């Protein structure tokens, strides 16, 4: 059952300034807004109400779109979770620093994750006086040097691996050194900062409660919460409370997936309610998006009319549900059709700080606020790029044109996304000049990127052979 791609999405610009030089300064006026980024994991494009979903109600997530902007062309910088998260948290194409693969769970490897050359959004906001909390899935490195508290966050509650089990009774490993293989990371006890902690409830509920508690604790200070749910990523696990809401769905996999999305939606509701109770809603930027498209074959997600799924550079892999609200600055009920990308969140957020901040690295994202308020009339990005290094696949979007390039076979497909969001009609033959120009643009961009700096999930066996002590506990 495919849902139509929403057509009601239109006039909002993403948040942040084009800070593209290492020592760029900026100034902002007014009280610093709080920032909450809510990141779903493997959520289908058509699986939220604001994108037309009918069988999974998401009333609380929809409030973010209704109270602000819905992006009809909202993208992430990669089609699977690790690199996508690296791009979001740095505001830079992750290929610039070699984060081009999904990292392995390797607690002894300081190179397996976000390199220390990069600073995070938490680093920069910390210099502007923000407290910050990373909740849930990290997936930017399991080594102690890559821990969230070493990457700018003042607090952490979650797990370092690329996924996790949801039921307390299945979380059986005290720490990562009890692991024997890659996916044992899903069974490690959660971390509160550096300490292991028992989980006593359904994981999604615990993550939501942690966000609410942090808002209460920091209500008098500017805060940044990076709430990275692992829902609805596999394993497909939900409690009876949520499953009972979906007896109308006969497909068992889809029913469990729906229950997981509903649990996340409930959590979003508790966060929005707490902001209202504390009179913080007007000056809190709340963002909702998915880390990549839904893997329809694995978790019964639905990308609607979009071609492809997680792992693809077609729209189904990189075009995601995306909404932002900030009542103090952004009108409600807006729909914005120009392409924006998760890289913009960094730039948008730091553009709002009271004090000038210095940046270590140039950004690829832009401040979306002037576009959403109408101050800027042009589109935020002339080009957006994507690369799958090992597959030698590339994509570039320029206006309505999107080129998909398979370099191994020199296969190029061109689509007009304004007229063909499903990427069904390859117009490369009739627009050869456009194809050649976009290939040149990809080459120029590629020359600025780096090769991967670590092995990824696809090299798990090879990595184990090279590093047999992968999970060996370090000697003190």
Q: Which residues are catalytic?
A: 81, 139
- Residue 118 C-alpha from the chain's centroid: 17
Instruction: Give dist(CA 271, CA 286) in Å, integer.
Output: 10
Instruction: Give dist(CA 63, CA 275) in Å, integer.
Output: 13
User: Is-contact 55 304, C-beta < 8 A?
Assistant: no
Positive or negative, the Cα torsion across 231, 368, 154, 20?
Answer: positive
DSSP 291-304: SS---HHHH----T
Read off the tokens for 159. 């797990």
Instruction: Give dist(CA 237, CA 233) in Å, integer.
Output: 9
Look at residue 289 and give its three-state secondary structure.
strand
DSSP 202-247: -HHHHHHHHHHHHHHHTTTS-EEEEEE--TTSSS----HHHHGGGT
User: Is-contact 227 36, C-beta < 8 A?
Assistant: yes
Question: For residue 142, how many other CB atoms are within 10 A of its CB?
Answer: 26
> Minimal CA–CA distance to 266: which of 335, 322, 199, 211?
211
Q: Which helix (H) or strand (E) holds 284?
A: strand 284-290
Beta-bridged to residue 116, according to DSSP, are none
Q: Which residue has the tokens 């290939």?
A: 439
Alpha carbon distances (Å) from 224 to 123, 129, 246: 11, 10, 34
> Minimal CA–CA distance to 86: which of 107, 116, 108?
116
Alpha carbon distances (Å) from 386 to 78, 206, 395: 6, 34, 5
Cβ-based neighbours of 175, under 8 Å, separated by 6 or more:
188, 189, 196
């Amino acid at each position: 059952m495919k849902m139509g791609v929403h057509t009601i999405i239109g006039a909002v610009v993403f948040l942040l300034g084009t800070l593209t030089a290492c020592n760029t300064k900026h100034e902002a006026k007014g009280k610093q807004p709080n920032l909450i980024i809510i990141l779903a994991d493997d959520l289908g494009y058509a699986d939220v109400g604001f994108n037309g979903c009918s069988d999974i109600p998401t009333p609380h997530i929809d409030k973010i779109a209704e109270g602000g902007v819905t992006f009809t062309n909202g993208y992430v910088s990669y089609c699977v979770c690790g690199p996508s998260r690296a791009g979001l948290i740095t505001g830079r194409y992750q290929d610039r620093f070699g984060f081009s693969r999904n990292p392995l769970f390797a607690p002894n490897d300081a190179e397996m994750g976000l390199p220390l050359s990069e600073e995070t959004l938490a680093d920069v906001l910390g210099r502007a006086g923000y407290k910050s909390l990373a909740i849930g899935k990290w997936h930017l490195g399991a080594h102690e040097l890559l821990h969230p508290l070493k990457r700018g966050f003042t607090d952490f509650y979650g797990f370092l691996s690329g996924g996790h089990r949801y039921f307390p009774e299945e979380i059986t490993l005290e720490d990562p050194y009890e692991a024997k293989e890659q996916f044992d990371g899903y069974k490690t006890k959660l971390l509160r900062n550096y300490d292991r902690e028992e989980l006593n409830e359904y994981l999604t509920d615990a993550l939501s409660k942690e966000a609410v508690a942090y808002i209460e604790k920091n209500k008098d200070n500017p805060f940044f919460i990076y709430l990275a749910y692992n829902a609805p990523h596999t394993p497909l696990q939900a409690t009876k409370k949520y499953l009972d809401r979906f007896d109308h769905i006969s497909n068992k996999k889809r029913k469990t997936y729906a229950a997981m999305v509903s649990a996340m939606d409930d959590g979003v509701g508790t966060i929005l309610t707490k902001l209202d109770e504390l009179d913080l809603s007007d000056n809190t930027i709340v963002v909702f998006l998915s880390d990549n498209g839904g893997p329809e074959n694995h978790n019964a997600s639905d990308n609607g009319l979009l071609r492809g799924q997680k792992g693809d550079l077609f729209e189904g892999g990189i075009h995601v549900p995306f909404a932002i609200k900030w009542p103090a600055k952004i009108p409600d009920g807006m729909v914005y059709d120009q392409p924006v990308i998760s890289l913009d969140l960094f730039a948008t957020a730091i553009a709002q700080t009271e004090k000038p901040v210095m940046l270590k690295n140039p950004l690829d994202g832009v401040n979306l606020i002037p576009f959403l308020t109408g101050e800027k009339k042009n589109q935020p990005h002339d080009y957006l790029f994507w690369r799958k290094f090992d597959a030698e696949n590339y994509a570039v979007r320029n206006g309505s044109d999107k080129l998909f390039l398979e370099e191994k076979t020199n296969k190029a497909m061109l689509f007009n996304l304004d007229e063909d969001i499903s990427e069904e009609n390859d117009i490369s033959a009739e627009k050869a000049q456009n194809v050649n120009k976009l290939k040149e643009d990809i080459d120029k961009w590629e020359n600025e990127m780096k090769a991967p700096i670590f092995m990824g999930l696809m090299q798990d066996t090879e990595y184990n052979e090279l590093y047999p002590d992968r999970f060996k506990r370090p000697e003190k």
